[in-house]
Amino acid sequence: SVWADNEAYQSIVYVSYKQPRTVLDTPRRYRHHLVAEIFCIALNNRFFKISRQQDPPFYNASTQSEEPCKPVQSQCLTATCKEGGALQALQALLIELARIRKDGF
């Protein structure tokens, strides 16, 4: 969905997808949780480096895991960008995820 605020001076891109919440009841699931947390840290570092480039597609960006209710968790991508730059910011986020999927860190 798209939401617009006429008084906003910058654009914000927010992508969220939900998945079943994983219960951390075994060492294997806990390890998977730790790997996911490390992945988020590494991705946030990469977004920070992109935001420091000359003419970046976004001012800042981040990923985080949220638990809106007990059976569900969501993974969220957020970026703040210049007015009218939401599409470029979204494209940069998704391209970076595709690069990681293809080539790794």
Helix or strand or coil: residue 5?
Answer: coil
Q: Which residues contact 51 (CB under 8 A, 6 or more apart)?
A: 58, 59, 60, 61
Q: Which helix (H) or strand (E) holds 35?
A: helix 27-51
Percent of the chain residues topping a pLDDT of 70: 94
> What are the pLDDT digits (tens) for 15-50?
888 888 888 889 999 998 899 899 999 999 999 999
Count H helices and E strands in the chain, helices first.
2, 3
- What pLDDT does 24 receive? 85
Which residues partner with 69 through β-bridges? Answer: 72
Between CA 17 and CA 15 the distance in angstroms is 7
Q: What pTM was estimated for this model as a whole?
A: 0.80
